[in-house]
Amino acid sequence: MKKLLCQSSERLREVLQEPLPSEGGDIEFTVKKGVATLAEALQSDSSLQSLDLQFNEIGDAGAVLLAGVLQSNSCLISINLQSNKIGDAGAAALAHALRSNSSLQSLDLRWNNIGDARAALAAALQSNSSLQSLNLQDNKIGDDGAVALAEALQSSSSLQYLNLQSNKIGDAGVVALAEALQSNSSLQTLDLSITRIGVVGAKALAGTLQSNSSLLTLNLTCNRIGDVGVMALAYALQLNSSLQSLNLTNNKISKESGGPGCSKGKT
């Protein structure tokens, strides 16, 4: 991976020398060339702080180029790469860059195809001291990914916002996250909506809320915590003095309550 990132500047020069495709030519080629041009500009830019590339198709190749930028650029504090067809290779490159980057505060990777690289991202969080917001909504992060992220949270002192909405985490992953929050004192917002949380996960979170004093917002929308889960949370709220927002929309609470159902949407 290090070799790949080190070659990014050389690759930029090669791409920039290639001819533009004719009308109706390779769109993917055009996108890569555009990202390459942008990445080269960012290598020397000293003013741009926010970069929004959402709803493009930069893919892994584009993510690798941007990761190379993050190793030398110290001005960017926010990058939005949501819905860009970034897979594990691109995410791993970004994770590698985060190990040494000390300026980026917000990274939005929602609606991509990140699965196996979740461990690399988690490891990066353990050494990174600047990132405050990480959005991984609607990727391919399961229980193993949540466990890896939970381990990172135990040592992270900067992350304040973590969005895991619409990932297939389940109770096992949530239990690990809940345990991590017992020692983490920086995270303020945790979004676990549409993550298949049941009673076991709800009880684990409730146990954590009894002692956690930093979490301000917890989103559990569209899960399966039921009456038993909500009673555990209700008891925890009596002991917690920091939580300001708790969303329990559509959670099978009481047999008589019927919700409209939840759909996996881009919210």
Please check the confidence at residue 16 and state whether its pLDDT lies above 70: no
pLDDT reported for residue 232? 97
Name the range with the highest mean pLDDT among 21-25, 208-212, 254-258.
Answer: 208-212
> What's the pLDDT tens digit per position in 160-180?
999 999 999 999 999 999 999
Cβ within 8 Å of residue 38, ≥6 positions away: none
> What's the pLDDT tens digit per position in 176-207?
999 999 999 999 999 999 999 999 999 999 99
Average pLDDT, the chain: 88
pLDDT reported for residue 31? 62
Classify domain 141-267 at the CATH topology level: 3.80.10
The residues spanned by each domain of the chain are 1-106, 141-267
Average pLDDT of 63-68? 96
Domain 1-106 class, CATH top level: alpha beta
Q: What is the 3-state secondary structure (H, E, C) of 227-254?
A: HHHHHHHHHHHHHCCCCCEEECCCCCCC
pLDDT above 90 coverage of the chain, percent: 79
The answer to whether 1-106 and 141-267 have equal CATH topology is yes
> What's the pLDDT tens digit per position in 82-125?
999 999 999 999 999 999 999 999 999 999 999 999 889 999 99
pLDDT reported for residue 143? 94
pLDDT reported for residue 33? 83
Cβ within 8 Å of residue 3, ≥6 positions away: none
Kindly provide the b/e burial profile for residues 208-235, where b requires at least 16 CB atoms within 10 angstroms of the residue's own CB: bbeebeebeebbbbbbbbbeebbbbbee
DSSP 106: E
